[in-house]
Amino acid sequence: MSKTALLFAGQGAQSVGMGRDFAAAIPTAKAWFDRANAALGYDLAAICFNGSDAELTKTENAQPGIFLVSWVAFELLKERVPTLKFDATAGLSLGEFTALTAAGAMSFEDGLRIVRQRGRFMQEACDTTQGGMAAVIGLDEAPTREACAEAGVVLANLNCPGQLVISGAVDRIEKACELAKAKGARKAIPLPVAGAYHSPLMAGAQPKLAAELAKAKISAPRVPVISNVTAQPHTTPDQITARLVEQVTSSVRWEESIRHLLAHGFTRFIELGPGTALSGFMKRIDRSAQMLNVADVGSLEATVKALG
């Protein structure tokens, strides 16, 4: 019997207007956006729907905004497909919080509040360090790691074959890009990000995030949730907290996480939230997997139809 996993978008998926057609067309969606605004005490929905690109891209807005739009996509899919059964969840970086919330490990309000604070803490770490990231295209993991070691940066995201992301001090990222190209990378492109996510330069955010997580009630998830840090399912609530703190400076092992699910009989994946980056990664990991997504009203209708 085929198994279904829900996948939740990560930072970088944000775009102005995300979630707007949900709220305009579906009363349930508007109610979730209103609930989020009340929980946060400011109009996050307005930033998602009509904010400037610069405002939405700020880590403290992008992270809760993506969490919220992904959550609304999840709730609307459940509403339209009451028989929807999912057997695991996973999320890219920030998306791991949405994945845990969807699996019942924390409440919607706690998940949203923690992600908002996580974004703030990471922005503060960006502001006190001169960090950057770059995408390395068309080079295997081993030579990319060599380039990182030689330049003094780290491998931040292992997304899919041929697409890796490196992270570290800005001047060292430039050197790492040159080294990666010398080792055969097709491209090595600096990314327009505020800092060096998933690197030791984010360590300043960790104690603050730990304190924030300590205020929340974390429960054992109802279905397996794959950890970015280990590429294995989370276990106890204490371990979930520890891994989420560790995740801030650790590599995101996305390809390995998906391969874990594939090896355990998962054949259908539904990407929830803005963009289709995770669907793109899946094409490079296993083209035979069924990949659906819910990012707006059109893709919701298409996914509902595909689920029959």
- Which strand ranges, in their side-by-side order, compose the sheet holding 187-190? 154-160, 163-169, 131-137, 187-190
- Give phi and psi for 90, each to the nearest 5: -155, 155
CB–CB of 190/177 below 8 Å?
yes
CB–CB of 213/245 below 8 Å?
yes
Query: Would you say the C-alpha torsion 221, 224, 225, 226 has a positive or negative sign?
Result: positive
For residue 124, with 0-12 CB atoms within 10 Å meaning exposed, 13-18 middle and 19 or more buried, which class applies?
middle
**CA separation for the pair 290, 280 (Å, rounded):** 12
CA angle (163 as vertex; 160, 166 as ends), nearest 5: 115
CB–CB of 11/63 below 8 Å?
yes
| Helix locations, 53-128, DSSP H | 53-57, 59-80, 95-102, 108-127
Residues involved in catalysis: 93, 198
Question: How far, in whole angstroms, is CA 250 from its chain's centroid?
Answer: 14
